[in-house]
């Protein structure tokens, strides 16, 4: 006669499975976070390489945050539209306001960010433009604005140490895509620190993470994790041959 499990034996097996699951879940979660981080860094590397390509094509000039006549934020004439064309070798389909589920824009989507891109829902529930934001303090506002405008546009020749010059960062602004002030550069509600914590809170169009690690893409084409302690006013223009006057 075939032996059957007793109730106690069955409970013991269930308990063992539960213990093993509890031991494995943190490791699986950590592995998932590492994979998401690797995907994010890959996006940033591709985008920063497009910055290098742009400079090679346009007499050493660094792509600014906007290509509009006023330098004002614009849904179609910005760094994302140019990078899209350089990465995909074709013009952006319609605009840089993201469409639901559009794989063309995956390069602007951080795998570690739970809030999706969706330009059709600019109501504080979605990212309108990108999961990445550009450091306009380094790359400048727009070519078309008055030369006295701040931040100014620059050439690659103005960068003495490209490996220290951060161009792109994880974005914490649902409705924005650029950093134009030192206060925003160091703010945890403008730059997203999503890579060592999934906990976040929303206030208006900002998402604040409880973590301390963001990712950055540098003008030499590399990307790396950046601790919040490094995010100072001086770091916003690190790598420049000449320190900004203000």
Residue ranges of the chain with per-residue pLDDT less than 70: 1-5, 27-28, 69-76, 94-102, 119-124, 145-150, 198, 246
* C-alpha closest to that of 39 among 131, 101, 118, 117: 131
Q: Is 126 left (phi over 0), alpha (psi -120 to 50) or beta?
A: beta
CB 140 within 8 A of CB 65: yes
Supply the mean pLDDT for the chain. Answer: 84
The pTM of this model reads 0.84
* C-alpha closest to that of 139 among 51, 49, 39, 29: 51
* C-alpha closest to that of 65 among 153, 168, 165, 141: 141
Residue reference for tokens 């604005």: 145
Q: How far is CA 199 from the centre of its chain?
A: 17
Strand segments (E) across 144-188: 166-170, 178-179
Residue 111 has a pLDDT of 92
Domain residue extents for the chain = 50-236
CB 139 within 8 A of CB 80: no
């Amino acid at each position: 006669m075939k032996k059957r499990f007793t109730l106690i034996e069955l409970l013991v097996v269930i308990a063992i499975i539960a213990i093993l699951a509890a031991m494995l879940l943190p490791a699986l979660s950590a592995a998932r976070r590492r994979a998401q981080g690797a995907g994010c860094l890959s996006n940033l590397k591709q985008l920063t390489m497009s910055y290098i390509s742009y400079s090679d094509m346009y007499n050493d000039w660094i792509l600014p945050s906007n290509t509009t006549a006023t330098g004002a934020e614009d849904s179609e004439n910005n760094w994302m539209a140019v990078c899209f064309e350089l990465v995909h070798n074709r013009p952006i389909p319609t605009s840089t306001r993201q469409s639901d589920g559009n794989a063309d824009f995956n390069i602007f989507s951080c795998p570690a960010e739970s809030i999706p891109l969706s330009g059709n829902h600019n109501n504080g529930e979605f990212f309108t433009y990108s999961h990445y934001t550009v450091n306009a303090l380094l790359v400048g506002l727009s070519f078309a604005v008055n030369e006295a405008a701040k931040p100014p546009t620059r050439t690659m020749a103005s960068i003495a140490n490209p490996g220290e010059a951060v161009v792109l960062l994880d974005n914490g602004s649902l409705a924005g895509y650029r950093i134009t002030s030192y206060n925003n550069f160091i703010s945890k509600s403008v730059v997203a620190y999503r890579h060592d914590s999934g906990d976040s809170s929303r206030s208006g169009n900002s998402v604040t993470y409880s973590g301390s690690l963001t990712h950055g893409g540098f003008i030499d084409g590399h990307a790396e994790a950046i601790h919040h302690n490094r995010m100072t006013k001086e770091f916003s223009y690190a790598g420049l041959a000449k320190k900004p006057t203000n």
